Structure 1
Amino acid sequence: MLTVEIEPAFSWPTRVYWEDTDAGGVVYHAQYLAFLERARSEWMRAQGYGQELLRLEHGLVFAVRAMQIDFLKPARLDDALQVGASLHECRRASAVFAQDIRRDGELLLTAQVRVAALDRRGFRPRAIPQPLYDELKALERA
């Protein structure tokens, strides 16, 4: 369980649609993973490193290695959500993000997500290239 609530360095807006919910209009638990993924991808893009750039120019992809999620309150059909992402820790071949989902400032979910750096061709673990590592390391938020 993520015990420290960190105000996100980045927030990505999304809305809940029918396709995101169960028959009762409540967001299906697996859909939160897509919301979290999109926010991490948009966070990287905001840093100047879109997923395609990383793949083509650096031969690097990130894949989720582990996730810890605490579902606090449900999101519902038509809710406007803010999905936060902060880089908590950057290591040589992985990174940990602290994430949250809010509705009108109300905390609905917290997550800690570890992503592994992989070679784009063989999907084997590899070190994050030094210039990118240095930039990411400088963005860590404790």
Structure 2
Amino acid sequence: MLCKPAKYGVKIYWICDAENGYALKGLLYSSRSSEQRQTRLSNTIVEQWAQPFVQSNRNVFMDRYFTSDSIVQHLLERGLTAVGTVYANRRDHNKKVIMISYIPRKNKNVFLMSTCHTTLKIDNHRDDRRPNITNDYNLGKGGMGSMDYKKRRFFLQTKDQ
């Protein structure tokens, strides 16, 4: 597939610094154990990622694969706040979590969830009038994009002979 970043078979989940894209921790995916099958794989991964950063008052930025109400609550209980996009079909929602629906263009709806924002503000000085949660999410997700770029440059891609 052309949209896939790599055609070979090792899956590593990374947590990166948002400012410079440095990898802080990577988890190699192997099959799930019987205890892990009771929960979503994404929840298990985020719980393992977050262990070294408990009570550090950091913000965690996640894409929609990892963001759910249960994992956001788990992080909040451990002193971490979270911002992430959400699948539209995930209906679980807690009153302590801000959840917004933002429509940047026609037929494009983006759902965001946040525990580090207490109020919703809209930047009226920009043409697109984005909510502050969207701006913060876009700043935070840049670290992963930067890390992906660096990874693609330095890992050799070999073809099977």
> TM-score, length-normalised on structure 1?
0.31
Greater C-alpha Rg: 2
Which is strand-richer, 1 or 2? 1
RCO higher in structure (CA 8 A, sep ≥6) = 1
> TM-score, length-normalised on structure 2?
0.29
